[in-house]
A and B are shown apart, each in its own frame.
Chain A
Amino acid sequence: MAETFLTYNALGSFLVRLMQIGTLHGPTLNDLGVLSFNPVTSPDLLQLNYQRTLLPPKKYLLPPQSPILHYAPTEGYTPAKTPGDEILLFGLHPCDLAGIAYLDRVFLDDRPDPLYASRRERLVLVGISCESDEYCFCGDVGVCPTAAAVPFDLFLSRQDSGFRIRTGSRRGEEIISWAADIVGTAGAETRPAEAAETARRICHAVGKRRMFEGSTLWDDFAGRCLSCGACSLCCPTCYCVDVREYGAIDGQTGERVQEWDNCLFKAHGEIAGGINFRKTRQERFHYRFLHKYYGFGPLRDVISCVGCGRCRAVCPVGIDLLELFGEEPA
């Protein structure tokens, strides 16, 4: 399908049209100044020139806490139900789409999870291009070498007078055809996109299997880290979860819940009897670095840093794993 063009003037009507299709969610700013993905009742509430939300769209696919099994004496364990309505998730930056691409590989391809699949099924992804700031590096959709292929139903690339719209799925094409009276055909106007220097440096260092073993940064990180968990919670690709079970006050039924975990927590490497395979914070940072940049399990050798910059932005003590790559000779 040919690319289409949406002028800035027509954006409002386009968003209203999207709201007629399903529940529209997108980046909003609350009274306290926190940017987060939320349902919107009016297109005016959407922040289109935002830098990054606090939590990534991961929260729609793998919520911070979610029931996975229900127990009752008569039925035994039964899988948790998932909500079904379609959500149009508007305004996803390329890094966040890359995050979803990574989670899709984990939970749709390699280790199929019905709960994830049902949540993913109901999402319509509408991406939007953005500008890098001092924390992030992805450049633009499809150009970042750490995250080349990303999923989207629609992607809006900002140009001088409006957005060039790309469709990435049949659903995307349907939406554009429903909005045919609002969008026009794309002209020649394009802005060139290129990957940021940081992404190239990461790929270069990873290609040489650099682990920065001798760096003094490990001790520095370990000494400062507050073990608050923010870096993982806010990471679009971190998917470690802990599992707990809570019995109900009826003394009969119960619920098994999974919730986000963090490899920098002391308990992450513990086994029965309190034996810990990653006792020190240094070891936990090594582990985090290995998993972020070299991958693990079926996604070995897949970089899972999508360059969103959240881990640096939300760290109370300003720890940035990317500083390690600064030690790589250019």
Chain B
Amino acid sequence: MIETPVPAVILAMKPLAPDILFFSLQLDTGTVSSNFSFVPGQFLQISAAGAGEAPFSPVNLPGDDGVIELCIRKAGHVTAKLHTLQTGDYVHVRGPFGNGFPVKQMEGQDLFLLAGGLGIVPLHSLLSYLVMHRQRFGAITFMYGAKEPSALFLRQELQDMACTGNIKFMVTVEFAPEDETGKTSCNIGLLPDLLQGAIITAERSYAAVCGPPALYKCLVGELKTLGFKEERILLSLERRMKCGLGRCAHCAVGQDLCCIDGPVFPYSALKGIEGAL
């Protein structure tokens, strides 16, 4: 784990939406070989010098090549600065922090990955891992919901992974403008609606969920109705982790710290905790 921020050069940037940029970063090789290994669902602290630091989960599964991919929405002073940077500029990186998804525990099980909006980020990373170790897992279903088709980020990459990895891939949007052919380009409906048609053996399945807070409340209910045990519903929480090391106490959820005990929690650990979801 990297404790003091180290430089990473921006290899590429591309806009995903007016306020969202995709970044590809390269850590130097010395850093990577020394102490950098990563579990999907963990997060990194990214610094923009002179502005500060903010936590992000990578989109990819950072490996030996030291490449980190991020999706960054312009939402505050740090992300605003990140959006002003250009290819060849440097950011600084600490981490990884947190527990990540319990991938060992998920082996041999059927998996339901449910992403809402920019919640796609850690689940894209998880999916990369699952595809890489495809034979260790049972049936995999990936459900992705967004406001509108243009907000389904990384759709093609996900589609490609789904094809190569034998993964059921479904997308849905809340509304869709008609395209030139007079047709909508996507299913219209809410994410929980997709679950209703799914064939699920809940006792040998895990659900991994990431999305805006409002999504969790309705999805948890839906998953429980389908028979999922509370400890098999895994939620990745968003908090403003300032340190990532459990020192600033900014990300506490009940008696847990999101940066150490999380950010991935089974619903059973969050149930009844005020302010958890």
Q: CB atoms of A and B under 8 A apart anywhere in the complex?
A: yes
Q: Which residues of A contact B (CB under 8 A)?
A: 69, 71, 73, 76-79, 106-107, 110-111, 113, 239-248, 254, 256, 258, 261, 263, 268-273, 275, 277-278, 283, 286-287, 290-291, 294-298, 300
Any A CB within 8 A of the CB of B242: yes
> Contact check: which of B4, B248, B261 meets A79 at CB < 8 Å?
B4
Using CB atoms, name the residue of chain B closest to A116. B247
> Contact check: which of A111, A286, A291 meets B246 at CB < 8 Å?
A111
Interface centre among B47, B92, B247, B254 (most CB of A within 10 A): B247
Known: A77-B5, A247-B49. 11 other contacts (CB 8 A): A111-B245, A241-B243, A241-B250, A247-B51, A263-B249, A277-B213, A277-B253, A295-B255, A296-B252, A297-B255, A297-B257
CA of A141 to CA of B254, assembled, Å = 31
Cβ contact within 8 Å between B5 and A298: no
Which DSSP category, helix, strand, loop or mixed, fits chain B's interface? loop
Cβ contact within 8 Å between A290 and B255: yes
Any A CB within 8 A of the CB of B256: yes
> Contact check: which of A245, A261, A270, A278 meets B52 at CB < 8 Å?
A245
Using CB atoms, name the residue of chain A closest to B260. A297
Any A CB within 8 A of the CB of B199: no
Which chain B residues border A239 with CB–CB below 8 Å? 247, 249
Cβ contact within 8 Å between A107 and B4: no
* A292 CB to nearest B CB, Å: 12
Cβ contact within 8 Å between B50 and A247: yes
Contact mask for chain B residues 208-225; partner A; CB cutoff 8 A; 1 contact, 0 none? 000011000000000000
Known: A77-B92, A297-B261. A270 touches B240 (CB 8 A): yes
Which DSSP category, helix, strand, loop or mixed, fits chain A's interface? mixed
Q: Which residues of chain B from 90 to 105 have a CB within 8 Å of any chain A CB?
A: 92
Any A CB within 8 A of the CB of B139: no
Cβ contact within 8 Å between B6 and A76: yes
* B118 CB to nearest A CB, Å: 10
Sorted from nearest, which 10 A-B pairs have the closest CB atoms? A247-B50, A245-B52, A272-B75, A297-B257, A277-B275, A296-B255, A240-B249, A77-B5, A254-B50, A243-B242
Which chain B residues border A300 with CB–CB below 8 Å? 255
Which chain B residues border A240 with CB–CB below 8 Å? 248-250
Any A CB within 8 A of the CB of B7: yes
Any A CB within 8 A of the CB of B238: yes
Any A CB within 8 A of the CB of B157: no
Cβ contact within 8 Å between A296 and B275: no
CA of A273 to CA of B73, assembled, Å = 10
Cβ contact within 8 Å between A297 and B256: yes
Cβ contact within 8 Å between B73 and A254: no
CA of A77 to CA of B73, assembled, Å = 24
Any A CB within 8 A of the CB of B69: no
Q: Which residues of B contact A (CB under 8 A)?
A: 4-7, 47, 49-54, 73, 75-76, 79, 92, 212-213, 238-240, 242-243, 245-250, 252-257, 260-261, 274-276
Which chain B residues border A295 with CB–CB below 8 Å? 255
Cβ contact within 8 Å between A283 and B274: yes
Cβ contact within 8 Å between B252 and A261: no
Known: A242-B242, A286-B274. A272 touches B249 (CB 8 A): no
Cβ contact within 8 Å between B247 and A107: yes
CA of A291 to CA of B243, assembled, Å = 19
Which chain A residues border B245 with CB–CB below 8 Å? 111, 113
Cβ contact within 8 Å between A296 and B249: yes
A-B contact pairs, 19 of them (CB 8 A): A73-B49, A77-B4, A77-B5, A241-B242, A243-B243, A245-B49, A245-B50, A245-B53, A247-B49, A254-B50, A261-B250, A263-B249, A270-B240, A271-B238, A272-B79, A277-B213, A278-B274, A296-B254, A297-B261
> Contact check: which of A69, A261, A294 meets B4 at CB < 8 Å?
A69
CA of A241 to CA of B238, assembled, Å = 18
CA of A270 to CA of B238, assembled, Å = 10
Using CB atoms, name the residue of chain A closest to B250. A240
Which chain A residues border B248 with CB–CB below 8 Å? 240-243, 258, 261
Using CB atoms, name the residue of chain A closest to B239. A271
> Contact check: which of B54, B213, B250, B252 meets A291 at CB < 8 Å?
B252
Cβ contact within 8 Å between A275 and B213: yes
CA of A84 to CA of B15, assembled, Å = 49
Which chain A residues border B54 with CB–CB below 8 Å? 272
> Contact check: which of A79, A113, A272 meets B76 at CB < 8 Å?
A272
Using CB atoms, name the residue of chain B closest to A239. B249
Which chain B residues border A113 with CB–CB below 8 Å? 245, 247
> Contact check: which of B7, B52, B252, B256 meets A243 at CB < 8 Å?
B52
* A242 CB to nearest B CB, Å: 7
Which chain B residues border A106 with CB–CB below 8 Å? 247
* B258 CB to nearest A CB, Å: 10
